[in-house]
Amino acid sequence: MQTLICEEPGRFVYKEKEYPAIAEGHTLLRIKKIGICGTDLHAFEGTQPYFTYPRILGHELSAEIVQTDAEGFETGELVTVIPYFNCGNCIACRNGKPNCCASLQVLGVHVDGGMQEYITIPSSSLVKNNGLSEEELALVEPLSIGAHGVRRANIQPREFVLVIGAGPIGLGTMEFARIAGAKVIAMDILDSRLDFCIRQLQVTYRINAAKEAVTEKLKEITGGDMPSVVIDATGSLKAIDGAFQYLSHGGRFILIGLQKGAISVSHPEFHKCEATLMSSRNATREDFDHVIRSIKNGQVKATNYITHQVLFREVADQFPSFSDPDNGVIKAMISFS
């Protein structure tokens, strides 16, 4: 079968590989669709933490079951996958947080992912399609990242929530903040993405951080209070360090975006506000279920995110273009046929 391997930053190679053997407790899948995410782009650029090469990328999947021993699943069934493989025994797993397992193995990051025709995964990671299409299923995982961050933030109705970064993860975060009842403020440096927030996601407020005085604009929007929740979905150290000043007194700052450096914050200012800083890593089955319900009931139109389509055999040639802002990529979707 054909695979696409990221041998090193900036270099993809197609290679033939033996079909995977199936172990007990695992399921053999035929990949149907793969969403390209920021993790994949950062891995290709060489800026992704927790990453080693060579690696087969891809963890936003829809797939067809070829063989399984999973109860309640059958051959030919369309599924998606929770791509965070946890140990089940560590303190995080015992406390219901398998998304941050001490021995976590993420598909396409720590272990080879979905950019291959067939793959085996732990059967415990399977998720029913619940009537979703192949493309919708491939979007459940990235939307779950935002849903998990919103759940971590414990957003209350009518809170002002600033989401920094209008890429796919930030957009999903805005959607689920809206569903939670927040008054959402979108911030980015690209007008095209901010226009998408207004047009497709019904976000009420927008700020272009490259063109506007952000603090003054936030004061104007919030009546001088500043946002009680700030969520970073950029993974930019500059954006994260700068965002501490946007928090209200008693506010919460949630980091969904991930970068390699050390965060810098004025302790007196942070302490004065009695602010809360927390990370949000991956997602749980609860988040996956919430996303699927939200797509099913029409609260989220997942396919709005797909701006580019690419065949698997063309990925190596086209992949570098997906990180170019001039190409207007929100979500590129890989098809195997």
In this model, does residue 260 exceed pLDDT 90?
no
Is 121 in the same domain as 217? no
Is 157 in the same domain as 249? yes
Amino acid at 96: G
Q: How many CA atoms lie within 13 A of 140 on its CB side?
A: 34
Q: Using CA atoms, how far apart are residues 153 and 331, in angstroms rounded to an integer? A: 25
Predicted confidence band of residue 110 (pLDDT cuts 50, 70, 90): very high
In this model, does residue 50 exceed pLDDT 90?
no
Is 236 in the same domain as 319? no
Is 274 in the same domain as 305? no
Report which DSSP code applies to 261: S
Is 9 in the same domain as 94? yes
Residues sharing a CB contact under 8 Å with residue 294, sequence separation 6 or more, in sequence order = 143, 147, 175, 176, 179, 300
Is 125 in the same domain as 153? no
Does residue 192 belong to any structural domain of this protein? yes
Is 151 in the same domain as 275? yes
pLDDT at 317: 95
Partners of 2 in the β-ladder: 16
Is 18 in the same domain as 115? yes
CATH number, domain containing residue 178:
3.40.50.720
Report, as an integer, the average pLDDT of 97-104. 97
Amino acid at 226: M
Task: Quickly count: other Cβ atoms within 10 Å of residue 275's Cβ.
Answer: 19
Report which of residues 259 and 140 the model is more confident about: 140
Q: What are phi and psi of 102, to 5 degrees?
A: -65, -20
The number of distinct structural domains making up the chain is: 2
Predicted confidence band of residue 337 (pLDDT cuts 50, 70, 90): confident
Does residue 292 belong to any structural domain of this protein? no
Which uninterrupted H or E stretch holds 145? helix 134-153
pTM: 0.95
Q: Please report, rounded to a whole number, the percentage of residues in the chain having pLDDT higher than 90.
A: 92
pLDDT digits (tens, 9 = 90+) for 305-333: 999 999 999 999 999 999 888 888 999 99
Predicted confidence band of residue 259 (pLDDT cuts 50, 70, 90): confident
Is 9 in the same domain as 102? yes
In this model, does residue 38 exceed pLDDT 90?
no
Does residue 291 belong to any structural domain of this protein? no
Is 176 in the same domain as 77? no
Does residue 138 belong to any structural domain of this protein? no
Query: Which domain, by its residues, includes 6?
Result: 2-129+301-335
